[in-house]
Structure 1
């Protein structure tokens, strides 16, 4: 393989950037919505946004994983040392795992806590877990703890992408950037 990386396919790029934007928007919403003194109206709006986008993230990450398994990503350029390649692969899988744990634990916390997910209710989607306060509290704890893994993983991913784009200029960032041609 040459030192330039082939590009990801369009669906992988679209799923990546949609999930990225949704995750980047839910992190501050989640951090702010639990603060005291922000006003009930804003707090309610943030809770509704956070839980609805969380369900959407869950669906999109599952679709993304299925797509990735059917369409493996292009190999990294030869200029990326083997250890960095292993770290990149591990970081991606840890990101997927953290996103799934966050989304699933958030869903379980809301539904087991007997709170609505309004758009699912309107669609007639029944709760997938029963109301159960102990389960809701466990899911709440898992959700809160997982943020300590997710946020650093997101920051590492962004930092690595910027390093490839600005310092190395090796095509890794460009391969996922929208608009670049499909993988050859």
Structure 2
């Protein structure tokens, strides 16, 4: 960590500590996301309650982890990306996100709202009247990758901080292959 000789150093250290937590959540989301996708892809071979519970647990955990980083930005959610104080020039992360997923702010807000509402009303709590479909998480997954790219190459620009974190896209590919290999080994015993 930094020596924290200046107020700027303290801000950067606080951001780095938050980033470490967010990165761990990102990796965990990716593991659950690809576990779910692989289980769904093999659902014809995976019958029974165990596999239903396993698939559900993975997808529900995805919603919870995603909302930890991208959901509510209130003071109660201390791991939200907006709590980073680093470089927000050129519109910061959100501008990059909208550009790379090719969405308007309104479209993103609708996507964000659907995911957050599902997390709030079903994954984390069970509202009796909640009956909406499970939102797709493809853009949620992309948001983590775009956030990682922003962190790696833009967020700390000019601070002297160099990211030593592994690129999340590489982590995702490794996890995806490992999960596929593990499931194939289980299915072919």
TM-score in terms of structure 2 length? 0.48
TM-score in terms of structure 1 length? 0.49
- Higher RCO, 1 vs 2 (CA within 8 Å, ≥6 residues apart): 1
